[in-house]
């Protein structure tokens, strides 16, 4: 008879730092325990200003550790035992101060000491004011931690407790717990998301544009936005700050992604122009209308007995504008082709001065526009070619983002 070997629970040491997001820590412990993780909590001194040790003790089921020099606590479970107990250390919220200390190995409280004393995989969910997060010193500290195999989760963008708006909000507890489950399921395989885009700014266009003819009629195409939204999700999972400029689609905005809705190609160009400063990677996945009506009728055009002629003018090429900037990001284009895939894509790569292009063969209706799958041929300006076999847009997106990350 075969013996059932119970699976060991992953032991997570949750480090809570002193930021307003600490009030979410109780929920985070609950979400982690629901997903069968064993959770113990360390609090920094300032975290206790935002949430009580009693609350975290009640939800975790363990006494909470908060002092480095506490004889009783050391006798029960000292900092070295805690460091050995943990399979993973999750610091959430991680303040700019703790991130800075960890980046240089300062050990002046229990949490920083345990991190240095432990060989556990470390995850960091930053939470701070948007300007503190954007500051070069925090970004340098984060890069150091990433280079030491720390995995950064978020932060998300949005309104902050101080009233500012921008990147710096801690990811929601549910999202952190889900990302850890994804990590656990990917362990040991190649599907593990890397953190290669941590702190990078990525601007992505997605979906169709809609060019008005009159108040009820328009010119557009069959782009559903699925490919662009999958790219946004994949880049966010690699730690990037993602802004998605989206034409009209029927999709949910991926978590922690900043979305800007646009309608026409002209709107899309303006939105891109307004958000390009500081951008490290630009991905033009939108199916932008090449032409737009010269005149948009203000009233519904009436039918008569004659044929009708519509005069169109050329839209500006958004991606070419991005690639022509003196401080240009790494620019990735798409080319949907129904014939001569490689030749047409290569000519777009050169003509638009792109760094990389993803060519989709749209001769098969089950691939490309408005479908769940895609097949991509990647070409870059150095002449490297890579065929990604037909797969879901999520899988293709994560492979494309990995290719971009490898080239940066």
Chain residues in the site for ligand PMT (CB under 6 A): 205, 207, 223-228, 265, 284-288, 290, 315, 317-319, 333-336, 348, 360, 368-370
Our CB check for ligand PMT shows the closer of 135 and 325 to be 325
* C-alpha–C-alpha distance, residues 336 and 229, integer Å: 17
CA 103 to chain centroid: 22
Residue 52 CB partners (closer than 8 Å, separation 6+) = none
Decide: helix, strand or coil at residue 348: helix
- Cβ of residue 321: shortest distance to ligand PMT, in angstroms? 8
Which run of H or of E encompasses 388?
strand 385-392
Residue 332 CB partners (closer than 8 Å, separation 6+) = 281, 282, 283, 284, 354, 355, 356, 357, 358, 400, 404
Strands 218-219 and 258-261: unpaired
- Cβ of residue 259: shortest distance to ligand PMT, in angstroms? 15
Our CB check for ligand PMT shows the closer of 45 and 290 to be 290
- Cβ of residue 167: shortest distance to ligand PMT, in angstroms? 25
* C-alpha–C-alpha distance, residues 390 and 376, integer Å: 7
- Cβ of residue 337: shortest distance to ligand PMT, in angstroms? 7
Going by C-alpha positions, the residue among 69, 127, 121, 73 that lies closest to residue 98 is 127
Our CB check for ligand PMT shows the closer of 171 and 281 to be 281
Residue in the block written with tokens 């002449």: 383
Decide: helix, strand or coil at residue 405: helix
Are 249 and 206 contacting, i.e. CB atoms less than 8 angstroms apart? yes
Our CB check for ligand PMT shows the closer of 219 and 336 to be 336
Which residues does the annotation mark as catalytic? Answer: 162
- Cβ of residue 154: shortest distance to ligand PMT, in angstroms? 25
CA angle, residues 339, 343, 346, in degrees to nearest 5: 130
Our CB check for ligand PMT shows the closer of 128 and 289 to be 289
């Amino acid at each position: 008879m075969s013996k059932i070997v119970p699976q060991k629970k992953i032991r997570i040491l949750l480090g809570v730092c002193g930021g307003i997001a600490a009030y979410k820590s109780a929920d985070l412990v609950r979400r982690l325990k629901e997903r069968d993780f064993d959770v113990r909590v360390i609090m920094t001194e300032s975290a206790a200003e935002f949430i009580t040790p009693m609350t975290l003790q009640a939800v975790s089921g363990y006494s909470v550790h908060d002092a480095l020099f506490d004889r009783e606590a050391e006798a029960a479970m000292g900092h070295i035992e805690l460091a050995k107990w943990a399979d993973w250390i999750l610091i959430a919220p991680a303040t700019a101060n703790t991130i800075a200390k960890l980046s240089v190995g300062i050990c002046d409280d229990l949490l920083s000491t345990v991190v240095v004393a432990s060989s556990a995989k470390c995850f960091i969910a930053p939470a701070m004011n948007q300007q503190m997060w954007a500051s070069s010193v925090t970004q340098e500290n984060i890069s150091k931690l990433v280079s030491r195999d720390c995995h950064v989760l978020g932060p998300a963008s949005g309104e902050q407790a101080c009233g500012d708006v921008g990147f710096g909000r801690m990811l929601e507890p549910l999202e952190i717990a889900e990302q850890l489950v994804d990590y656990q399921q990917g362990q040991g395989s190649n599907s593990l998301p890397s953190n290669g885009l941590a702190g990078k700014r990525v601007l992505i266009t997605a979906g169709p544009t809609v060019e008005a003819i009159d108040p009820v009629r328009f010119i557009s195409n069959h782009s559903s936005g699925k490919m662009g939204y999958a790219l946004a999700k994949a880049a966010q999972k690699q730690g990037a700050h993602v802004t998605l400029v989206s034409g009209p689609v029927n999709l949910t905005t991926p978590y922690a992604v900043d979305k800007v809705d646009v309608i026409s190609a002209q709107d899309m160009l303006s939105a891109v122009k307004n958000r390009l400063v500081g951008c490290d990677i630009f991905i033009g996945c939108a199916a932008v209308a090449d032409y737009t009506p010269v005149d948009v009728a203000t009233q519904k055009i009436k039918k008569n007995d004659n044929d009708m002629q519509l005069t169109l003018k050329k839209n500006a090429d958004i991606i070419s504008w991005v690639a022509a900037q003196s401080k240009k990001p790494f620019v990735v284009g798409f080319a949907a082709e129904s014939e001569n895939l490689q030749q047409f894509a290569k000519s777009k790569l050169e003509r638009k001065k792109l760094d990389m292009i993803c060519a989709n063969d749209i001769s098969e209706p089950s691939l490309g526009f408005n479908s769940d799958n895609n097949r991509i041929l990647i070409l870059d300006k150095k002449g490297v070619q890579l065929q990604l076999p037909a797969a879901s847009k999520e899988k293709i997106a994560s492979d494309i983002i990995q290719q971009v990350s490898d080239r940066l």
